[in-house]
Amino acid sequence: MNWQLEESELQQIAIIVLSLADKCRGDNLALLALLRQLEQLHREIRDGLFQESLPDNRQALYALLKDIETTGGWPYIERLRIQQLLANWQLEEDKGDNISV
Protein backbone atom coordinates (compact mmCIF):
# COMPACT_ATOMS: atom_id res chain seq x y z
CA MET A 1 0.00 0.00 0.00
CA ASN A 2 1.48 3.34 -1.03
CA TRP A 3 -0.51 5.77 1.11
CA GLN A 4 0.92 9.17 1.97
CA LEU A 5 -0.21 11.59 4.63
CA GLU A 6 -1.81 14.69 3.28
CA GLU A 7 -0.05 17.91 4.26
CA SER A 8 -3.31 19.09 5.85
CA GLU A 9 -3.43 16.00 8.09
CA LEU A 10 0.10 16.68 9.32
CA GLN A 11 -0.85 20.32 9.89
CA GLN A 12 -3.88 19.24 11.94
CA ILE A 13 -1.64 17.08 14.13
CA ALA A 14 0.79 19.97 14.61
CA ILE A 15 -2.04 22.37 15.47
CA ILE A 16 -3.47 19.99 18.06
CA VAL A 17 -0.09 19.36 19.70
CA LEU A 18 0.80 23.06 19.78
CA SER A 19 -2.64 23.89 21.17
CA LEU A 20 -2.16 21.36 23.96
CA ALA A 21 1.30 22.77 24.68
CA ASP A 22 -0.13 26.28 24.81
CA LYS A 23 -2.79 25.16 27.31
CA CYS A 24 0.06 23.81 29.46
CA ARG A 25 2.05 27.06 29.29
CA GLY A 26 3.74 27.65 32.63
CA ASP A 27 3.03 24.11 33.87
CA ASN A 28 6.36 22.34 33.50
CA LEU A 29 4.98 18.97 34.67
CA ALA A 30 2.19 19.01 32.09
CA LEU A 31 4.63 20.06 29.34
CA LEU A 32 7.01 17.30 30.41
CA ALA A 33 4.16 14.78 30.19
CA LEU A 34 3.35 16.01 26.68
CA LEU A 35 7.00 15.70 25.62
CA ARG A 36 7.18 12.20 27.07
CA GLN A 37 4.04 11.19 25.17
CA LEU A 38 5.46 12.55 21.91
CA GLU A 39 8.71 10.69 22.51
CA GLN A 40 6.80 7.48 23.23
CA LEU A 41 4.77 7.85 20.03
CA HIS A 42 7.96 8.48 18.06
CA ARG A 43 9.53 5.33 19.52
CA GLU A 44 6.46 3.18 18.87
CA ILE A 45 6.16 4.28 15.25
CA ARG A 46 9.91 3.98 14.61
CA ASP A 47 10.38 0.58 16.28
CA GLY A 48 7.17 -0.93 14.98
CA LEU A 49 5.49 0.26 11.84
CA PHE A 50 8.50 2.06 10.34
CA GLN A 51 10.92 -0.84 10.78
CA GLU A 52 8.34 -3.22 9.36
CA SER A 53 8.05 -1.02 6.27
CA LEU A 54 11.78 -0.80 5.52
CA PRO A 55 12.71 -1.62 1.93
CA ASP A 56 13.68 -5.13 0.91
CA ASN A 57 15.54 -4.22 -2.29
CA ARG A 58 18.27 -1.78 -3.36
CA GLN A 59 16.07 0.48 -5.46
CA ALA A 60 13.56 1.04 -2.67
CA LEU A 61 16.36 1.57 -0.15
CA TYR A 62 17.98 4.13 -2.44
CA ALA A 63 14.64 5.96 -2.83
CA LEU A 64 14.17 6.04 0.94
CA LEU A 65 17.70 7.31 1.61
CA LYS A 66 17.35 9.92 -1.14
CA ASP A 67 14.10 11.13 0.40
CA ILE A 68 15.67 11.32 3.86
CA GLU A 69 18.57 13.33 2.45
CA THR A 70 16.50 15.75 0.38
CA THR A 71 13.55 16.39 2.70
CA GLY A 72 15.11 17.11 6.05
CA GLY A 73 17.03 14.16 7.36
CA TRP A 74 16.17 11.63 10.00
CA PRO A 75 13.53 12.60 12.58
CA TYR A 76 15.10 13.01 15.98
CA ILE A 77 13.71 14.01 19.34
CA GLU A 78 16.45 15.69 21.32
CA ARG A 79 16.42 15.42 25.09
CA LEU A 80 17.22 18.36 27.28
CA ARG A 81 20.44 17.60 29.07
CA ILE A 82 20.50 18.02 32.82
CA GLN A 83 23.48 20.38 32.41
CA GLN A 84 21.33 22.68 30.23
CA LEU A 85 18.56 22.57 32.80
CA LEU A 86 20.97 23.48 35.59
CA ALA A 87 22.58 26.25 33.49
CA ASN A 88 19.15 27.79 32.86
CA TRP A 89 18.37 27.56 36.58
CA GLN A 90 21.70 29.21 37.44
CA LEU A 91 21.02 32.05 34.96
CA GLU A 92 17.64 32.71 36.57
CA GLU A 93 19.19 32.61 40.02
CA ASP A 94 21.91 35.05 38.95
CA LYS A 95 19.30 37.42 37.51
CA GLY A 96 17.47 37.35 40.83
CA ASP A 97 20.68 38.27 42.68
CA ASN A 98 21.15 41.34 40.49
CA ILE A 99 17.77 42.85 41.30
CA SER A 100 18.13 45.78 43.65
CA VAL A 101 15.45 46.38 46.25
pTM greater than the 0.75 cutoff? no
Question: Residue 17's closest CA among 5, 35, 44, 32?
Answer: 35
What's the pLDDT tens digit per position in 50-95?
999 999 899 999 999 998 889 888 887 777 777 776 777 776 667 7
Buried b (16+ CB within 10 A) or exposed e, 29-38: eeeeebeeee
Of the candidates 1, 87, 80, 76, which has an alpha carbon nearest to the alpha carbon of residue 42?
A: 76
Reported as type and span, the H/E element at residue 42 is helix 28-44
Q: Do you know the residue count of the chain?
A: 101
Q: Are 42 and 75 in contact (CB under 8 A)?
A: yes
Average per-residue pLDDT in the chain?
84
